[in-house]
Amino acid sequence: MSSKILIIAGDPNSINSEIIYKSWKRLNNNIRSNIYLIANYNLINEQLQKLKYSLRLTKFDGLESKNKSNCLKVIDVDLNFSNPFNVSLKNASTYVINCLNLAHKLMSEKKYKGVINCPINKRLLGVTSILGVTEFLASKCKIKDNSEVMMISNKNLSVAPLTTHLNVKNISKNISSNLIIKKITTINVEYKKIYRKLPKIGVLGLNPHNAELKKNSEEYQKIIPALSKLKKKKINVHGPLVSDTVFISNYKKYDVIVGMYHDQVLSPFKALFKFNAINITLGLTYMRVSPDHGPALDIVGKKKSNCFSLLQCIKFINTLKQ
């Protein structure tokens, strides 16, 4: 298997050039030699100069060169810009989508061990009518049954929302027993591939106090029947758990906590672990991860960003065994 790591520079109006630089400085030469960055060469170069960061870049032409092993190899993607920290929404959107498409192509050709996308403002994917990078890449991988999973993970705990980037008013009608079964089956299979063990999975209910398990509740009609079928498949699943107390200490009993919606699990997880997490997409035809934070538009150019999550992504891919 290839040891090369592909990184997508992501949103051009972001802290990404800063966290790439800060991560690079913390890596040893062996890991550096395996990193390839999909980006616009001129943009990254100008952003680094504006930040007064010294990092040697080289355009990667497909030919390996030992004397360039300590340079950051850039797979150049066209971008029309005049101000390196103020790229127009239209140009930024085209650029990001082109980068993602190129990354998908390279990963599908099995040329890289894994791909990391740096943070992206979801507005830049708006022209695709797709909600986020997880869904974008699932579509590129022709996953049509909605079985892909966004899992936020560190060595202590993983969490996964059943629905991802939906408005709250749409959550209930998008939950079904079939969806629960598909997502948790994906988690069970993919978690074992990554961590070499079958996970103990806790599943949250949707409503406060699990709606007292009333017969007209989602817990009674959808969640409990799904869990019963999963248990018959010998999946180590437990629930529905009450979401307002599980993150006090009970979460420590589980490898993965599955919630019904995005903020139900991501908000408490981030309160507990802050930047100590990576975002892993389960169920794709290749390994994709990303830092567990956004483009941080409020601190762009201020040299205040924390690169820990990106650094963890790189180390995760580097040590991954498949």
Distances (CA, A) of 320 to 3, 55, 105, 125: 10, 27, 21, 29
Quick one: pLDDT at residue 78? Answer: 96
Q: Token digits for 96?
A: 């990001």
Provide the domain count of the chain. Answer: 2
Could you tell me if 137 and 107 are in contact, meaning their C-beta atoms sit under 8 angstroms apart?
A: no
Same domain (yes/no): 47, 176:
no
Using a 10 angstrom Cβ sphere, with 0-12 exposed, 13-18 middle and 19 or more buried, the burial of residue 218 is: buried
Tally of CB atoms within 10 A around 66: 7
Quick one: pLDDT at residue 144? Answer: 82
Same domain (yes/no): 58, 169:
no
Same domain (yes/no): 8, 97:
yes
Same domain (yes/no): 138, 216:
no
Same domain (yes/no): 291, 278:
no
**pTM, whole model, 2 decimals?**
0.90
Quick one: pLDDT at residue 63? Answer: 66
Same domain (yes/no): 88, 119:
yes
Same domain (yes/no): 207, 268:
yes
The domain in which residue 273 lies consists of 144-282
Sheet holding 149-153, edge to edge: 57-59, 72-76, 35-39, 5-8, 114-117, 288-291, 278-282, 149-153, 158-161, 256-259, 201-204, 237-241
**pLDDT single digits (tens) 55-75:** 999 999 876 655 556 799 999
Same domain (yes/no): 190, 291:
no
Strands 149-153 and 35-39: unpaired
CATH code of the domain in which 187 resides = 3.40.718.10
Rg (CA), the chain: 20
Transcribe 207-242 into DSSP letters: SGGGGGG-TTSHIIIIIHHHHHHHHHTT--EEEEEP
Quick one: pLDDT at residue 70? Answer: 79
Same domain (yes/no): 25, 95:
yes
Name the stretches of the chain with pLDDT < 50: 128
Same domain (yes/no): 223, 307:
no
Same domain (yes/no): 55, 164:
no
